[in-house]
Chain A
């Protein structure tokens, strides 16, 4: 099975601090990490290769330094990676991003399965996976919590819904997006680390993937951010309650009534 995993490098919230005034995260100076959901996508692909054979190729679109995330994926078992990086890709929204990734998947060729994370934690849209499936006109399954079975021409997955789950069979090629429940990502081995340092990460430009320049970057993005603003600030005073448990419960009830919640 030839599997492509789409991975994105995102700002880390791990070492973020909270602004005491606004009670929001301080964003400046955060380092970049592999999108947490994508670590499950990589692990699932590696497990599928271990069971059914084949190859795992990670694909990312982003700045040059996103190659680090590709190396990270190789250190935990991916075979190789490709980076789409060029100024012309900059400013892509999810439509244009999924167009570029779909073109790259076509160029990689003979791909059976594409695995994405459920969503990227910076944009939180969850739109790129289904977008890729639409551009390729492949089948899709989102919020996948387990791969039950796979064969040369189909895959059986368990999808999470608000009110339960379902199990469905998709003919390949297909795109799936995965949630955290699906597996426990492994930690890199020494051999994996060494391999990840040695690999070459080819960088593809729009021409390499036959991208129509009017469909990538800002020009290719139907949506435009016209304004950004800080969110309405949270109240800056914390109401403190303590005492015996009964007193605490009473005080809380009073607060809830005051706010017409009870």
Chain B
């Protein structure tokens, strides 16, 4: 909604988080965003509400209070067992019209990035993608949203002064989850999914959940990535062994993906994923610009390469000159088992 003055703005209150549910389970990004929402709501003297959409998710609603929620708004229906953008949009738009949140935050996941832009258009709200920092103007509730643009080369701060609610997506692992406080409690509100929500939607014919958790680049704290130097699909085994030891994920350059050694879901870079992890270890990746734009915002970049003069070795925080086929296994062996 367009709002013309502070009085109209004041019709909207509270900070909402859209819970991320994957394979029936609430994902950690939900807790991370709850922590941020708590900080914003405290500055504004308002409440944190978490919206939980899915199938058989109600039992998990109670777990969210420990992370800072005051209320949990649940819509539990078989029609949302798999991701159906159209149903979730209708349900969420109705909740927003009814309860008028000031702010809505959602994970910048494949689901969040499909759902929220649709909701933002229908509710006539401003939406900022992939925020790395959120703050609030305590006077009028304007959200100050900071995000990287152009492959992390500039940071833009965005404000949305004359629309409510204000919406943002935030990548997993960017915000820190609060320590859970098991003593906190709150209220659970259940909303219905109506017959008309389910009219004329898409049919989901088949669902496949990968058993390889190591693909989940967005959720990882440590990514170890390989390039053309891996020589073949087996080369990636040493990276997988390392990733398994530290609980990380495996990334790849386009050269390795194009060679068919590893699926596209692992590709980092301009035409793959942009990642922002604590640690990124590039093994035999020369660091062409299209790769760098996808990972240069990681906190600590480590490069392992035979050639000390590659762009990656130049830009890394730590550059190790040597043969990755020897160094990576040695590294894995030296790390105590978790």
Query: B-contacting residues of A (Cβ < 8 Å)?
Result: 11, 13-14, 16, 18, 20, 23-25, 27, 36-37, 93-95, 98-99, 121-131, 133-135, 139-143, 145, 156, 159-171, 179-181, 221-231, 234-235, 238-243, 245-246, 248-253, 255-256, 259, 261-262
B198 at the interface (CB under 8 A from A): no
B286 at the interface (CB under 8 A from A): no
Is the Cβ of B318 less than 8 Å from the Cβ of A238? Answer: yes
Residues from chain A with a CB closer than 8 A to the CB of B150 are 11, 25, 27, 121-122, 124
Residues from chain B with a CB closer than 8 A to the CB of A249 are 327, 330-331, 333-334
Closest to A162 in B: B216
Closest to A98 in B: B121
Which 10 A/B pairs are nearest by Cβ-Cβ distance? Answer: A222-B126, A134-B121, A249-B330, A245-B326, A127-B117, A130-B117, A222-B163, A125-B129, A181-B264, A142-B114
> Contacts A124-B130, A139-B202, A238-B317 known; A145 to B117 CB distance under 8 Å?
no
Residues from chain A with a CB closer than 8 A to the CB of B116 are 127
The residue that A238 contacts in the complex, of B2, B83, B120, B313, with Cβ under 8 A, is B313
The residue that A242 contacts in the complex, of B110, B159, B322, with Cβ under 8 A, is B322
> Contacts A127-B129, A133-B118, A163-B23 known; A231 to B297 CB distance under 8 Å?
yes
Of residues B22, B82, B114, B308, which shows the largest number of chain A Cβ atoms within 10 Å of its Cβ? B114
Complex Cα distance, B335 from A262, in Å, reads 8
Selected interface stretch from B39-47, B69-77, B205-213: B205-213
> Contacts A25-B292, A27-B150, A170-B202 known; A234 to B109 CB distance under 8 Å?
no
The residue that B274 contacts in the complex, of A124, A228, A248, with Cβ under 8 A, is A124
A-B contact count (CB 8 A): 276
Complex Cα distance, B333 from A144, in Å, reads 39
Is the Cβ of B271 less than 8 Å from the Cβ of A180? Answer: yes
Residues from chain A with a CB closer than 8 A to the CB of B330 are 245-246, 248-249
Q: How many residues in B have their beta carbons less than 8 Å from beta carbons of A?
A: 102
Is the Cβ of A95 less than 8 Å from the Cβ of B311? Answer: no
Complex Cα distance, B96 from A208, in Å, reads 34
Is the Cβ of B204 less than 8 Å from the Cβ of A253? Answer: no
Is the Cβ of B272 less than 8 Å from the Cβ of A168? Answer: no
Complex Cα distance, B129 from A142, in Å, reads 15
Residues from chain A with a CB closer than 8 A to the CB of B154 are 27, 228-231
Closest to A102 in B: B121
Main secondary structure of the interface of A (DSSP, over half): mixed
Is the Cβ of A168 less than 8 Å from the Cβ of B121? Answer: no
Residues from chain B with a CB closer than 8 A to the CB of A128 are 117
B124 at the interface (CB under 8 A from A): yes
Is the Cβ of B160 less than 8 Å from the Cβ of A238? Answer: no
Is the Cβ of B270 less than 8 Å from the Cβ of A252? Answer: no
Residues from chain B with a CB closer than 8 A to the CB of A171 are 200, 202
Is the Cβ of A253 less than 8 Å from the Cβ of B334? Answer: yes
Complex Cα distance, B149 from A228, in Å, reads 10
B36 at the interface (CB under 8 A from A): no
> Contacts A25-B293, A163-B210, A248-B330 known; A135 to B121 CB distance under 8 Å?
yes
Of residues B153, B205, B293, which shows the largest number of chain A Cβ atoms within 10 Å of its Cβ? B153
Residues from chain B with a CB closer than 8 A to the CB of A37 are 271
Complex Cα distance, B302 from A93, in Å, reads 36
Given contacts A223-B127, A238-B314, A238-B315, 7 further A-B contacts (CB under 8 A): A121-B293, A122-B150, A168-B203, A171-B200, A224-B158, A239-B319, A252-B327
Is the Cβ of B202 less than 8 Å from the Cβ of A161? Answer: no
Is the Cβ of B158 less than 8 Å from the Cβ of A127? Answer: no
Closest to A177 in B: B114
Closest to A157 in B: B202
B189 at the interface (CB under 8 A from A): no
Of residues B301, B326, B331, which shows the largest number of chain A Cβ atoms within 10 Å of its Cβ? B331
Is the Cβ of B331 less than 8 Å from the Cβ of A261? Answer: no
B102 at the interface (CB under 8 A from A): no
